[in-house]
Amino acid sequence: MSAAPAALQRRPFGKSGLHVSEVGFGGWGIGKSMWGVTDDEDSLKALRAAVERGVDYFDTAAVYGHGHSERLIARVLRETGSAALVGTKVPPRNMEWPAHERTRLVHAFAPDWVRASAERSLRNLRRDSIDLLMFHVFQDRWLADPLWPETLGEFAKLKAEGKVRLVGISVNSDDPDSALEAVRAGTADAVQVILNLFDQRALARLVPACRERGVAVVVRCPFDEGGLTGTLTPDTRFPPEDFRSYYFGGERLAETCRRAEALKADLVPAHAETLAEAALRYCLSVPEVSTVIPGMRTAEHVAANVRAADGRRLPPDVMEALKGHAWNRNFYR
Ligand SMILES: NC(=O)c1ccc[n+]([C@@H]2O[C@H](COP(=O)([O-])OP(=O)(O)OC[C@H]3O[C@@H](n4cnc5c(N)ncnc54)[C@H](OP(=O)(O)O)[C@@H]3O)[C@@H](O)[C@H]2O)c1
């Protein structure tokens, strides 16, 4: 792993023995799918800026631009000689997000599908080994599926062959408890889950279960897809090909902005310079969190976001008061 500048704090990655930067890199947007216009040159600058500043955890997925995100990350890690950890994901074969509770494992993660996807990601990443290979969706019901031992066995074989170091679960967006049983059963070395100033549900059961099992917690969507950056207004409009055009559709955007303003009033400037910074500090004030992975497409965002990895936490009384801002809703639907 690359040497981190003094200011960038690092944390253990569960009980794996590895350490990662508190701020990692969310690589969905740079895949150029679902996020409107994205310029590869900007993405490459963002990735290089991240490596230069000591970011050494990169999140991606086979489906982010059909491997485009994986390939961009691979290019920058190779050209900079960075040994950063990369987490990627096997998509469900039926491409169903989130996993439907009645979906059988054979339609999502049959062993041959898991292997084929891992091999494809290895080629995209141009590495001999994937640091963390995750299920891109999950259902605890699969633990009772007749195929489960074989699917898990395929991950174990990939590990034994040195093609995968750690196994993870990317938890369904609207249901942090949908992988609780799997975590308790010791299935995963890491989970990736939504946790932010609005959606605090993972703190109830999943995060404590991860603490008990020594499972690394990777926090995604710290900005609620942009709603917690303080840069959106009720008049913001997204192009139709940008998924945020429906995520923030109808009355959702105005309500998001109203709630973001209330958070800003409580947190800025008392605890952070911007709401975005406060949003990252909130995630990093949870000690079980290994790294938070904001989606970044510009070097400027990288520069701003790594500042939250300076070890300064929100005080316990502030964390307690922030429970009052929790807002449970499913905008992914
Ligand atoms: N199912 C899954 O496994 C899953 C699902 C979702 C996300 N993820 C992972 O988690 C990562 C993070 O989630 P996300 O990207 O969906 O959402 P996010 O991190 O909550 O928000 C990303 C948004 O924040 C904006 N932003 C970033 N830094 C900023 C700053 N300093 N100031 C103002 N705005 C800033 C970005 O701006 P721009 O629009 O200008 O780039 C983008 O619109 C993803 O990239 C992906 O790696 C995984």
Residue nearest to atom 29 of ligand 1 (CA): 301
Helix then strand count (H, E) for the chain reads 11, 10
Give me the helices (H) in the chain, please. 40-52, 68-80, 111-125, 148-160, 180-184, 206-213, 244-247, 252-267, 275-284, 299-306, 316-322
Domain borders along the chain are 10-325
Which one, of 119, 132, 43, lies nearest residue 84 by Cα?
A: 132
SS3 state of residue 66: coil
HSE, side-chain direction, 13 A CA sphere, residue 202:
30
Neighbours of 80 (CB within 10 A): 15
The DSSP annotation for 107-138 comes to GT--HHHHHHHHHHHHHHHT-S-EEEEEESS-
pLDDT (0 to 100) of residue 7 = 66
Radius of gyration of the chain (CA): 19
Which atom of ligand 1 is the closest one to the Cα of 305? 31
CA–CA separation, 268 and 176 (whole Å): 29
Residue 192 to residues 38, 80, 136, 291, 300: CA-CA distances in angstroms? Answer: 24, 26, 9, 10, 25
Neighbouring residues of 213: CB distance < 8 A, sequence distance ≥ 6: 183, 184, 186
Q: Which of 244, 296, 306, 331 to mutate to test the pocket of ligand 1 (most atoms within 8 A of CB)?
A: 296
Give me the helices (H) in 17-147, please. 40-52, 68-80, 111-125
Q: Which residues line ligand 1 (CB under 6 A)?
A: 26-29, 59, 89, 136, 170, 192, 220-226, 229, 231, 276, 293-297, 301, 304-305
pTM of the model: 0.97
Residue with tokens 């005080």: 315
Residue with tokens 């959606």: 199
* Ligand 1 midpoint to CA 174 (Å): 16
Which atom of ligand 1 is the closest one to the Cα of 173? 1
Report the interhelical angle of 275-284 vs 299-306 (nearest 10°).
50
Please state which of the four CATH numbers 3.20.20.100, 3.90.1150.10, 1.10.1670.10, 3.30.43.10 is assigned to the domain occupying 10-325. 3.20.20.100
HSE, side-chain direction, 13 A CA sphere, residue 109:
26
Q: Which of 38, 221, 277, 305 to mutate to test the pocket of ligand 1 (most atoms within 8 A of CB)?
A: 221
Cβ atoms of 248 and 227 within 8 Å: the answer is: yes
pLDDT (0 to 100) of residue 2 = 47
* Ligand 1 midpoint to CA 13 (Å): 21
Q: pLDDT in tens for each of the 333 residues of the chain?
A: 444 444 699 999 999 999 999 999 999 999 998 888 899 999 999 999 999 999 999 999 999 999 999 999 999 999 999 999 999 999 999 999 998 888 999 999 999 999 999 999 999 999 999 999 999 999 999 999 999 999 999 999 999 999 999 999 999 998 999 999 999 999 999 999 999 999 999 999 999 999 999 999 999 999 999 999 999 999 999 998 899 999 999 999 999 999 999 999 999 999 999 999 999 999 999 999 999 999 999 999 999 999 999 999 999 999 999 999 999 988 988
Neighbours of 256 (CB within 10 A): 24
Residue nearest to atom 15 of ligand 1 (CA): 295
* Residue type (1 letter), 140: D
Which atom of ligand 1 is the closest one to the Cα of 134? 3
Q: Which of 229, 247, 253 to mutate to test the pocket of ligand 1 (most atoms within 8 A of CB)?
A: 229
CA–CA separation, 332 and 96 (whole Å): 13
